[in-house]
Structure 1
Amino acid sequence: MSLRMITACLALTSACSVSCANNASQADTDVLTVGLTGTVSTLDDTASTSSVGFTVTSLGVERLMRVAPDGKLEPHLAKSVAHPDATTYLYTLRPGITFWDGSALTADDVAFSMNHARRAKSQLASFFASVRDITADDGDTVRVTLKHPDASWKYTPTLAPVFQKAFAEKHGDSHGKPGVLVMGTGPWKFADLAATRGVELVRNDDYWNGRPAFGQIKIEFLADDTSAAFAFRAGEIDVAFPADARSYESISGTKLVSSGPTCSSMVMSMNTKLEPWSDIHVRRAVAHAVDREGIVKALGDDVTPTSQLIPRPMWDGAVPAAEADKLYESLPTYEYDLDKARSELARSAYPGGFSATINTSSNLTETSIANQALAASLAKIGIRIAVKRVPNSQWLKQLYGPRADIPVFTMPIGCGTVPDPSFYPGILLDSAAATEGGTNVADYTKPEVDRLVRVGLRTDTPEKRLSIYRDLLHQVSEDVPYVPLYSLEGYVALSEQFVWPGFDEMYSVQPWALSIKAKA
């Protein structure tokens, strides 16, 4: 898992919700104005570390596959996909798709783009770790051969952008940058990129999937959610994707309507190599002392508590719903019980409790509120947590820094475009990720867990996967390196003249503006 995908969850995994405000000044519905908190310096996603990069590029650069709002995989640039054996995938392209310059999309372009995405310095390289090679079989068929079975691979083509090979090769390292841009197939063509100001796109009248409604899309880069909220309130933007609902609602005067829980979560980590968190009884005490309902109440009942490291929605489409429900009913949980929490702490080397600090990104007001509620619940057993708001850059530096600098931490985890049970174990439990720059912030290393992580990824039989992840979740429940807190949701704010039916958290890797309609 790349660092960029975890960073992106700051922008992508807060809530799927729609709001309306009176932006009467935006009378021309042929132009859509979007406010994004962040900047983009390249339109080549494989070279970008921007948290809003996908949201920008997906309007013009498309993917082979997409995840539909119901969680099912669907062909996009591909017409069909075949899986003749455990390590082979064949993607047949839709006929008649052209790039903006009129040239035909070919399997050669797709194979080039996917190999570009898996090169060593690509921000998406980790998603291609199981790939042996990617080739064009003929003009319209792309063959992907894996080194070994990989249950998560099927989602990777929803992530990898498809560019024109000739254009990318002509421009080399300048590909995607201001003044050069990219050559794609999408519903809007990039007209301009100003790395610190924004992006302009114009309609592709020859788009293969129908003429887009908006003739122009203007994207303005804003400093933070506060700036976006003021701009929205003033009628300067039509669309925003706030990461912090509470602050945004307060400033913009707009009520965000949630779409409900997603497969993304807020998680607390405890470093298994650093005292006092390395004491198993401390971690179990914390697990019993966390008052999830209290945290939810502090957040205005706008989130849903969760207690399992692999969220239940990750199983949607992977196994029959009844089997997934049966699995989750059988899993052990740490119910909120202060007596059990005090009993565990009494068995630790710190029976009188201790003090610690949790840093919170200044960009995330809701997380700060949640951490204050978390601290209040732990104080009841003598664990005194100071919640410190720090600049987002400092928070990210700690997240991606040495594990020894992360004693205890809370972070949002976005499931991105990989709604598969292997996702959370791969980024949080695999010992290979317990390094500086990795995502196993609990520094949790256990050979048996590593084995289960790998076997789970390489097994695609539903019954076997259920058994593997049951064993893994039981082991993690015993060791408690992480305490899941609540499900995350994402937000979209829309001016009153627009609606967005079926908004979902996968919007950022598909041409999302096609879903925005003028209100009747």
Structure 2
Amino acid sequence: MPAPRRSAALVLATAVALTAAACTSSSTSSGSAATNPAALTAFTPTARGQLAQVTWNLPTGEPLSLDPAKAGDYSPSTVLSNLCEPLLRLKADYTYGPGLAASWKWTTPTTLVLDLRDDVRFWDGTAMTSADVVASLTRQLDPATRSVNVDALRYVSAITAGGPHQVTVAFKKPDQLFVKTLTNGFGQVSEAAYLKAAGAGYGTAKGGLMCTGPFKLASWQAGESITLTRNTAYWDRTLQPKVENLTFRFITDGSTLTSALLSGQIDGSYEINTATARALAHSSVGHLYQGDSAQTVFLTPTAPTSPLADVHLVQALQLVLDRDAVIRNVYDGAAQELKTFIPSLVWQHGPAASTYAQGYAALPAAPGVDVTKAKALVAQATTKSRSITVAMAAGDQQSLQTLTFLQAGARQIGLDVTIKQLQPTQMSGLFYDPSLRQGLDATIVQGYVEMPDPGSYVEQMTDPGSLFNWVQYRNASVSALLARARSDADPARSAAEYNQAQALFTKDLPILPIAAPDERLFLNDRLSGAPASFAYINMPWAAYLGGTGKGNG
């Protein structure tokens, strides 16, 4: 989250080949036609020129850690995707291919063999071997690591080196999801010796990192900036960075960011909000791009005692929230309506895309406004309370506008919604610390699905043992179907099993889907090349970035 993603945050991009430049699609990213007439772009035009310095912004603030095992949010992942590489590389359309692992195969239903590249070196010149991979993966089983990815290891019984460039993963039961987890932070590889020496300080401003990516961590000045430098010895000769120095700033205020982008103090940023997008739409200094996304916005109760743990009240709120108005006014049309809280980019380009599409099409349409029916549902609710306190991040105007729409609708059916704005650290912390959810009944989630599998996200909300199953949801049929989908080696059959689970949890899981926003990226005219799809979050996006010949390099 700021949402459950993979195993600690709920965390998408468009159908074009990784090498395509400025290809566009007017199709949907989330299961219904886009309201916004703007085409979605997977990549910005191919960069040609070298740049000595680029300054980039992280609009969600400074990372708490750059340890891949602890990176469960936008800011750390945006930085880390250029530093620490995963075993498999995510593509702009949410498919994936070889990364640090040149190939992989299931030798038995419970044995996965990864063949590693033999030409990869860490920034310090040390060759990457299977020992580094084993250390990077197995450390996440140690509670002291506090890994946000531990669910990826749910069915793993052993991870061993089968030679200097081969790793074998043994499972207690088949787990097809595991391969997909290797595309994100869980699969990012660090140097074993450096990990041991750094200990708990790994990934901090003081402890540093040791990885293999196209950029190296040069400095981290807490509260001010993080600077990366080009890795001139990077193994992938097709993806040599054109940017020599990349500095990240932490401007979270939208007005300040707008001014910095317009003045050229900041060269670019992902996650441009609507107010900033309006100010930048006709800018003479740069371009605003809109890409496909795996982001998802929804309302979820924060405790089993919440009034919204009663699905009748959630369904009632669905009937008084005017989603069309939210998409039109909050997102300026740059979002899609959702039938469930999983955006389609997660599955729409994979081997079972047609099966998933059939399951999504079979779901009931998102309901329109019906106050009379909503009042009847409120009357059926067994909970006595009609007051609901909803948390959001302070300063997040899009969440505030959305909740204001919800508040007005709720008032028509006798529900009193109080909006509580939390400071960023408290808002981020409530997803992991139950004490920070005290006094709250619900929160608006701006999450993202991080890997190309819808079940990876759904499990976080439905599994009885999940960190994010705050309402203690239990549906034995849903759990059994998702477990079968996770273990099934046949993609179409796995998708069909997921569809069966989806048909059930959309009826009784107390979550209110709101929208799937498109990705919005701003680039100064002197820059180009970066992916515009949300897949940037786990791609070495800055390695594509370079000059256009305009402005100073």
Structure 2 SS opposite 1:256: strand
Q: In the alignment, does 2:125 pair up with 1:93?
A: no
Render the CA deviation track for 1:337-389: whole Å, top value 9, x for unaligned: 514323333444689x9443323211421111111122233333333433343
Aligned residue in 1 for 2:424: 392
Q: Is the 8 A contact 1:88 1:146 kept in 2?
A: yes
| Offset at residue 459 of structure 1 (A) | 2.5
Structure 2 SS opposite 1:52: helix
Aligned residue in 2 for 1:412: 446
Moved more, 353-362 or 194-203: 353-362
Task: Describe how 1:210-359 pairs up with structure 2 within 5 A.
Answer: 210=237, 211-242=240-271, 244-247=273-276, 249-250=278-279, 254=283, 256-260=288-292, 262-270=293-301, 273-274=304-305, 276-299=307-330, 300-333=332-365, 335-338=367-370, 339-348=372-381, 354-359=386-391
Q: Give the Cα–Cα distance (whole angstroms) in 2 for the partners of residues 119 and 220 of structure 1.
A: 32
Q: Give the Cα–Cα distance (whole angstroms) in 2 for the partners of residues 317 and 150 of structure 1.
A: 21
Q: Is the 8 A contact 1:10 1:51 kept in 2?
A: no
User: What's the TM-score once normalised by structure 2's chain length?
Assistant: 0.81
Task: Describe how 1:53-202 pairs up with structure 2 within 5 A.
Answer: 53-120=76-143, 121-123=145-147, 124-159=149-184, 160-202=187-229
Aligned residue in 1 for 2:482: 453
| Offset at residue 439 of structure 1 (A) | 1.6
Q: In the alignment, does 2:514 pair up with 1:489?
A: no
Moved more, 226-235 or 101-110: 226-235
Moved more, 266-275 or 490-499: 266-275
| Offset at residue 72 of structure 1 (A) | 1.4
Q: Give the Cα–Cα distance (whole angstroms) in 1 for the partners of residues 414 and 250 of structure 2.
A: 44
Render the CA deviation track for 1:34-73: whole Å, top value 9, x for unaligned: 2224224654222556641222233222121111112211
AA aligned to 2:226 is V
Aligned residue in 2 for 1:500: 529
Structure 2 SS opposite 1:431: coil
| Offset at residue 305 of structure 1 (A) | 0.8
Structure 1 SS opposite 2:122: coil
| Offset at residue 513 of structure 1 (A) | 0.8
Shift in alpha-carbon separation, 1:241–1:328, aligned structure 2, 3 A? closer
Shift in alpha-carbon separation, 1:178–1:467, aligned structure 2, 3 A? closer
AA aligned to 1:215 is E
| Offset at residue 484 of structure 1 (A) | 0.9
Render the CA deviation track for 1:81-104: whole Å, top value 9, x for unaligned: 112222222221223222223332
Give the root-mean-square deviation of aligned CA atoms.
Answer: 3.5
Q: Is the 8 A contact 1:90 1:144 kept in 2?
A: yes
Unaligned 5+ residue runs, structure 1? 21-26
Q: Is the 8 A contact 1:428 1:440 kept in 2?
A: yes
Q: Give the Cα–Cα distance (whole angstroms) in 1 for the partners of residues 214 and 495 of structure 2.
A: 40
Moved more, 420-429 or 326-335: 326-335
Shift in alpha-carbon separation, 1:383–1:34, aligned structure 2, 3 A? same
Aligned residue in 1 for 2:20: none
Q: Is the 8 A contact 1:263 1:419 kept in 2?
A: no
Q: Give the Cα–Cα distance (whole angstroms) in 2 for the partners of residues 28 and 70 of structure 1.
A: 26
AA aligned to 1:296 is I
| Offset at residue 414 of structure 1 (A) | 0.9
Shift in alpha-carbon separation, 1:31–1:458, aligned structure 2, 3 A? same
Shift in alpha-carbon separation, 1:479–1:172, aligned structure 2, 3 A? closer
Q: Give the Cα–Cα distance (whole angstroms) in 1 for the partners of residues 503 and 391 of structure 2.
A: 29
Aligned residue in 2 for 1:23: none
Aligned residue in 1 for 2:497: 468
Render the CA deviation track for 1:394-413: whole Å, top value 9, x for unaligned: 43455442566442332112
Q: Is the 8 A contact 1:188 1:201 kept in 2?
A: yes
Q: Is the 8 A contact 2:2 2:9 kept in 1?
A: no
Structure 1 SS opposite 2:113: strand
Structure 2 SS opposite 1:199: strand
Shift in alpha-carbon separation, 1:439–1:41, aligned structure 2, 3 A? closer
AA aligned to 1:29 is L
Aligned length, in residue pairs:
507
Q: Is the 8 A contact 1:100 1:185 kept in 2?
A: yes
Q: Is the 8 A contact 2:62 2:250 kept in 1?
A: yes
Shift in alpha-carbon separation, 1:377–1:50, aligned structure 2, 3 A? closer
Q: Is the 8 A contact 1:226 1:248 kept in 2?
A: no
AA aligned to 1:163 is S
Aligned residue in 1 for 2:18: none
Q: Give the Cα–Cα distance (whole angstroms) in 1 for the partners of residues 179 and 316 of structure 2.
A: 39
Q: Give the Cα–Cα distance (whole angstroms) in 2 for the partners of residues 364 and 198 of structure 1.
A: 22
| Offset at residue 275 of structure 1 (A) | 6.2
AA aligned to 1:61 is C
